[in-house]
Amino acid sequence: MTTTTTTASQRVTGALSGAVTSARRRVGLVVRSRVAGEDAAERRQQIWHSDGERWNSPDDAICRVNGDASMFSAGLTALLLQSLHPLAMAGVADHSDYRGDPWGRLQRTSAFIATTTFGTIADATDLIRTINHVHRSVVGVDHRGRPYDARDPHLLRWVHIAEIWSFLECHRLYGRQQQTPDLRDEYVRQSARTGRLLGARDVPESADELNAALAEYLPELESSPAAVDARHFILDEPPVGWTDKPAYRMLRHGAVAALPPWARDMLELPDGPFGSRDVGIALGVAGVATLRWVLDAVDD
């Protein structure tokens, strides 16, 4: 009797485990297709497994940070922080279809980061060349009538600085591995190559230089009408279904908690739920851990 009961229990446990594994994999595939596109498997093969010399090795800091699930919150943090430069944000608002095709924009950004981090040098340089060509037509004026040009090295430097600062900070808060000062310096140094190839000048080469560069831009930053509109879209009107909203809400809180205090003030954002940044970080940890769990099932 005991043997029969044990066997039945094992069958039920096995069935439940199999169902959970199957559901976990299905969710992971959906998340990956959202971020990388319907051809995610083909893109992955091209980026990670095609023959050719690469700038980075798997153990490099840039691969460890950019390959971590903390990037899901980091991308939101970077967009919010970048939006605070009125000229850079005007270029996005005037020339980007982020409202009409948000997933397409996310997939293009994801492809760029993956290709320049993990792809072959040939593929990375081709993609950078294409982006530099597109930037030629990104010109206009902001809400105050000030001219902008996406090829401006000063604006490109801001976009680069805000991006890698956000990626590093979210990795520190939500990354799988503990971050060290050496990793931070190595990450900034390795990321500098892409910034320079995109046209930025005087890019930081260490974590201290990165923090100093971010502070240099403070007098130029403001919450422009375009930044406020982007904030509402990213945080309050995300293009996700009701089943995805709980997970997105956790990532959202994590992204806001990672921002510098002055950036939250400019965007009129609370430190976190109930006014607590610690709660925001805890939700960010939970959201990133959940996504890491489902995506690991796809990689298994």
CA separation, residue 260 to residues 18, 76, 93, 228 (Å): 43, 13, 23, 17
pLDDT given at position 30: 47
Residue type, 93: A
- Reported pTM: 0.87
2-48 confidence digits (pLDDT tens): 666 566 555 555 544 454 455 444 444 444 544 545 666 787 788 88
**Each residue's pLDDT tens digit, 229-247:** 999 988 888 777 766 778 8
Answer with the residue of higher pLDDT: 120 or 95: 120
Other CB atoms within a 10 A radius of the CB of residue 169 amount to 22
Phi, psi of 223 (to 5 degrees): -90, 85
CA angle, 124 then 128 then 134, to 5°: 150
pLDDT tens track for 189-220: 999 999 999 999 999 999 999 999 999 999 99
**For a pLDDT cut of 90, what percent of the chain falls above it?**
67
- Residue 61 tokens read as 């800091």
Distance CA 258, CA 206 (A): 20
Average pLDDT over residues 245-256: 90
Question: In sequence order, what are the beta bridge partners of 141?
Answer: 147
Predicted confidence at residue 48, as pLDDT, reads: 83
